[in-house]
Each structure stands twice: as structure tokens, then as C-alpha cells.
Amino acid sequence: MGNLCVGGSGKTPHVEYLIRLLSKDNNITTLSRGYGRLTKGFFFADSKSTVYQVGDEPLSYYKKYPSISVAVCEDRVLGINTILQKIPDTDVIILDDAYQHLSIKAGLNILLTDYYHIYPKDYVIPMGKLREPISAAKEADIIIVTKCPKVLLPIEEQFIREKIQPLPYQKLYFSYIEFGQLQPLTKPAMQMNVAAIRSVVSITGIANPYPFLEYIRERYSECQELTFPDHHRFSRADLEKTKLYFHRSLSRQVAILTTEKDAVRLKADYLDDIVSQLPIFYLPIEVKFHARFKQDFENQIIDYVTKNK
């Protein structure tokens, strides 16, 4: 799974969708590079792993889905061989962001593209955000247009289909983000009445925070926003600034909101004395497929896995 552009296209929640779909009947291992980690080489995530040993996304997979195995390795070929050596009964390896790895021929290639920035309307770096030419899309078996509106009009679907022009062997699907209920990250957050929150301070370090920010702007009367680069290693100074924003809020019912992926990095030990004082919540997300595509997508994935274990 991967994308052509630099920046987030919703890869993490789509990997989680595949995990939920397949983990009941298959032994699954995810393999990531482990962006943001301070280590090199192959690691399996375990109960002692930190975000700076395996990366934020793999650590999140490990914590959310204890029935699967989670591995990181910048050399995907070495990573796959090590997984098959150490866990020979593995049925499925989900490659997280491996579309550009030419040394690997995946059995099923899934290409993601953001509804608001579809790759046919973009250009290769430095003119645009594409990591490789549009022609690389021909390697995909499945193309998913991510972050669509919940209500997708047929005319919009047709317009995008005409822009992408999927090849005869490619299936095109459309998905959207479903936000869950706020989850407390700290003890002060557990003591708050979520329904009473009127003002928020957001802190994010992801590639495309706009769906998250748009969601909270629609729901709270006052929003102060702190944004950082993707996989940002939060510093104590970042948290002190967040604390300053929190205390200058005009409302007494103020909370700090972050994304599920950022929450993993905010729980780092070196930040605990600051983080533990603040009412911090994270907002979970899930990917949903529009009704007319959901069953076809799931059937294609399950059929492929059943035939190719």
C-alpha cells in the first residue's frame, strides 16, 4: 500500500481497515519502515517498544491490534525474509508505504490518492508533490480515492473516474473518514465532562491535518491550533507552548485535542511530567467505504488472500 505523493493520503487507517477485515481468519504481520524512529534495522514491536524504537504508526498498530505481529525494517526485502523465518505460519504481510520499493513485487498493490489532491492533477517534485510520475499508477491493482465527503454524488465520482482513467485491470474505490468519540489520554482528561467542552487547543504532527482541524472547527466555538511536520518529535518547548495556549483560552471548559497517531508520541517518557498535567484527548478515526463500493472492495481483498496464502 502507498501513494504517489509526499504527505498523507490516509494510509494508516486503511492499513487498519485491512487488519480488521483479515485478522479473524489469517495470521497477519505488518511491515513498515518506521518513520520517526531513532533505530536502524529489523525490530518486532513488543510491550517494551517505544515510539522512537519502532515509529508511531507501527506502535499504534501493536497497541490497537494485539493479535497481529508488527515489524519495522527500512530494507523491505530483509524485513519480509526475517518475518517468514521467524513466523513461518504468516498468512498475510501488509506492507505499509512500500509502493516505491521496486525490489519488491507485491501480490496486490493498493494505491491511495487524496480526494482533494488526486494525483492526475499534480506534478513531480519540485513543481508539485509527486514522488514519481503519474505513469507509476499503472502498477496499482486497486486505486482508492481517500478522504471523500460522506455524501459522494455520482457526478463527482464520474469526474474523478475520468481524471484517473483506471486501466481495465484496475478497480477504483472511494472511502471517507469517520471520526469516533473523544478518548482521554491523561487523568485530567478523564475527569472532564466531554459534553461541556467549549474551547480547544489542537496539537498535530501529521502530514495532512486538515480533516481533523475541519472537524473540530465545526464543533467548538474557540480553536487554537499548533501544527508541526509529519512524525514530529514533540519537544518540551512544544508542550510548554501548548500549555500557554491552554491557559490563555477565554473559556473555562477548555481541552487539548490531538490525533490518535500524535497521541502515541505525546506519551513519550521525557514529556510525561508536562503531559500528565493537561486534559488531553485524542480523536480516533476509521476508514469507511461508500456503500456501493464496500462489499466489492472487501470481496476483492478476501478473494485474493484466500487464493494466495
Beta strand spans in the chain (E): 2-3, 28-32, 43-44, 69-72, 92-95, 110-114, 142-146, 171-179, 183-184, 199-204, 222-227, 254-259, 280-283, 285-289
Q: Are 129 and 161 in contact (CB under 8 A)?
A: no
- Chain-wide mean pLDDT for the chain? 94
Q: Are 217 and 153 in contact (CB under 8 A)?
A: no
Q: Are 203 and 226 in contact (CB under 8 A)?
A: yes
Instruction: Quote the pLDDT of residue 123.
Output: 84
Tens of pLDDT, residues 17-69: 999 999 999 999 999 999 889 999 999 999 999 999 999 999 999 999 999 99
Q: Quick one: how far is CA 206 from the chain centroid?
A: 9
C-alpha cell at 71: 515489524
pLDDT for residue 101 is more than 80? no
Tens of pLDDT, residues 274-302: 999 999 999 999 999 999 999 999 999 99
Instruction: Quote the pLDDT of residue 102.
Output: 64
Q: Quick one: how far is CA 85 from the chain centroid?
A: 28
Q: How far apart are CA 160 and CA 163, in angstroms?
A: 5
Q: Are 6 and 129 in contact (CB under 8 A)?
A: yes
Question: Per the confidence metrics, is the pTM higher than 0.85?
Answer: yes
Instruction: Quote the pLDDT of residue 131.
Output: 86
- 191 DSSP assignment: T
Query: Does residue 186 sit in helix, strand or coil?
Result: coil
Cα–Cα distances in Å, from 65 out to 5, 30, 32, 187, 292? Answer: 28, 11, 15, 24, 28
